[in-house]
Amino acid sequence: MELGFIHSIFFGEDTLMRILHIVGFIIAVGGVASIDFLLLVFHFKPELGKSLAKVFPIFSGQISLGFILLSLTGIPLILSRPWLSENFYFQLKFFFVLAVFLNGIFITYYAGPRFAKLAPKWTERTAEIKRYEMISAVSGVISVTGWWGAVIVSLLVVHGVV
């Protein structure tokens, strides 16, 4: 078995991978937290809607970048612990990850552009805006639950609590 190269990547010390995984998490969750905070501000100052609609794509890019780093480093971490795939809590974590990823697609291709369109007339409180608010609220819950759920489950697994 000529496995030296693969072995050194996947079965050697994975400290670097872990650090980069956490960096990816910080970048992604940093973007999510920023959006959440700005949405809180927007709740009290709806006139900022047009400006916020412009900065949201920047945070979306940041979140996607974090996602890529999380995935790139997550792969070798999974590869070095193949048995994790049968662990219920690991599967739960991946469920959260998948949920926030799909939610990200929804936000990028529906919620984001729609917000940009509705933000300038947000104070009018039209039926369309109210409906959009409802949908966005669901998306927001998925985002918060998904990201922090994944973090909590990861910590529990890493520390052997579950």
We find the least distance from the C-beta atom of residue 86 to other proteins, in angstroms, to be 8
**How far apart are CB 24 and other proteins at their closest, in Å?**
10
Which lies closer to other proteins via its Cβ, residue 9 or residue 125?
Answer: 9
Give me the least distance between CB of 58 and other proteins, in Å please. Answer: 6
DSSP per position, 62-114: HHHHHHHHHHHHHHHHHHT-GGGGG-HHHHHHHHHHHHHHHHHHHIIIIIHHH
Among the listed residues 38, 39, 48, 79, the single contact to other proteins using CB under 8 A: 79
Token readout for 119 is 């933000």
Alpha-carbon separation of residue 17 from 6, 30, 50, 52 (angstroms): 14, 19, 39, 34
At closest approach, how far in Å is the CB of 11 from other proteins? Answer: 6
Q: Does 26 bind other proteins (CB under 8 A)?
A: no
- C-alpha dihedral (114, 104, 131, 58), degrees to nearest 10: -40
Quote the CA–CA distance of 113 and 57 in Å, as a whole number: 9
Q: How far is the CB of 74 from other proteins (least distance, A)?
A: 5
- Please report whether residue 138 would count as binding other proteins according to CB under 8 A: no
Q: Which one of residues 32, 42, 52, 67 is an interface residue with other proteins (CB under 8 A)?
A: 67
Q: Which is nearer to other proteins, 74 or 140 (CB)?
A: 74
Between 37 and 95, name the residue whose CB sits nearer to other proteins.
Answer: 95
Is 115 among the residues that bind other proteins (CB under 8 A)? no
Please pick, from the candidates 10, 96, 115, 132, the single residue that binds other proteins as defined by CB under 8 A: 10
Q: Which two tokens stand for residue 151?
A: 């973090």
Q: How far apart are the first and last CA of the chain?
A: 35
Q: Does 96 bind other proteins (CB under 8 A)?
A: no
The closest of 61, 70, 66 to 17, measured between CA atoms, is: 70
